Each structure stands twice: as structure tokens, then as C-alpha cells.
Chain A
């Protein structure tokens, strides 16, 4: 089994990239791979808790919590997150907060990297 690291920079609303990344992470997990998920730039909006699920908009809270429970390591860029007004107290529990070197370290140990840049 391999190690897959996914870096996402797209926003939760206005793009389907984050939805795709969450589904891909789950699919890789089900095949027995270890998955790491790095959130940077606008993707850090994913970590905000108490997202209201309106049917016209993507919501990432439920699938993200499910991934965390299954052992996916999820880390948000602390500077990017705080710059968007999201504090640690506002965030989904279990998400790690760190700097960009976290992503590089996970890339180092990965067999495959899927890097999804922002729009």
C-alpha cells in the first residue's frame, strides 16, 4: 500500500476541486492507502465548523470529519486560515494547524502527490 498526499488550494464554494479531493481521499483510503491532506490558500475555508448545508453549495464538514475518523491526516496552513478570520476555536476538531513545511514533509514520505492549485 502506498502513501498519497493531496494538496488543495481551491475554495470550498465556487469550485468543485475540494469536493473531488475529499472523494479521492476516501477512495484511496478504501483501497488501503495512507492519505495526507494539506489545505492552503482558499481551501482553508474547509476547516470551519458549523457549515450550513444548503443544497446549492458544497459542504465539506461531514466528509472531512469522516476522513479524520478513518485516520486521514489533515492539516491547514495556519497563516492562510487565520488571514481568513478562522480561529482554532472555530475549526473542526482533529484538523492539524501547521506551516508549509508540514506539506513538504508529507510529500517527502509520499509515493504519489496530487497537487490541486487554486483558481
Chain B
């Protein structure tokens, strides 16, 4: 049995670049990676939003209306549905004046998980616990 823990850290804002969306979709890919691994091997990602990246976590995004593309919100909901641990930096949310009630959730889709608003030190601990850290 071998598990590789990864930390996906999103620090760039959504829609200015593809980075936040690609971080989420790459993290979600842990669901199917087992077909390429030996039996008993797993990959466990966590998804962390810091800096301008926390803007990706605001709910009621209108990407489909404005750009005709799937929103980062939709991808985040999918991440929660597949039980990914998603963390967003409390201090950076406060810096933008974003309150917790403005954060995406997937309750309407029946997800058990919710995005966790945590102090930066928690995200730091996630990065230190990971074998590899991937910055987006």
C-alpha cells in the first residue's frame, strides 16, 4: 500500500488565466488515477486556495452567461462531490472582505464535504505533509 499525498495550491485569480480551473480538474483526476497504478496504490490530493486564488471560491459565478464556459464554481462543486478536501485561506478572504456565506458549497448536489475556511498555518501544514506541492 502506497499513498502519495499532493497539495494543489491555487494562488492566481479565476478567469484571468486557466490556472485555477486546471488545478481543480487535475486534483479531481485522482478519482481515475488508480487505473494507471498498481493495486493498493493511491494518490490523495488536497486543494488549497490562497492569495488572489481565494476569488475562485466565490459562489454564484456567471461564467456560462458571460463567457459560455463552465464556471470554476461548477468545478469546485464537483471536487466536493468526489470528497476532495478543499481549503481556503481565512486571512486572504478577510483581506478581500469575503465572508464565509459567500463561499461555494455543493449542498444542493448532496455533497458531504464543504470548503473549509482555515488559517494560513493549516494550509502550510498541508503543504508540509504533501510529498509534492503544485502551484497554480
Contact = CB atoms under 8 A, between A and B. Distances in A.
Contacts, number: 64
A20 B134 CA distance: 18
A108 B2 CA distance: 9
Contacts of B25: 100
Contact of B132 (A9, A99, A110, A119): A110
Assign chain B's interface to a size class: 20 to 34
Determine the main DSSP class of B at the interface with A: mixed
A9 B135 CA distance: 11
Nearest to B16: A119
Interface of B: 2, 4, 6, 12, 17-19, 22, 25-26, 28-30, 32-33, 35-37, 41, 43, 45, 132, 134-136
Interface string A1-29: 00000010100000000000000000000
A117 B135 CA distance: 7
A104 B35 contact: no
Contact of A41 (B2, B4, B22, B29): B22
A107 B36 contact: no
Ranked 4 nearest A-B pairs via Cβ: A100-B29, A105-B36, A101-B33, A115-B134
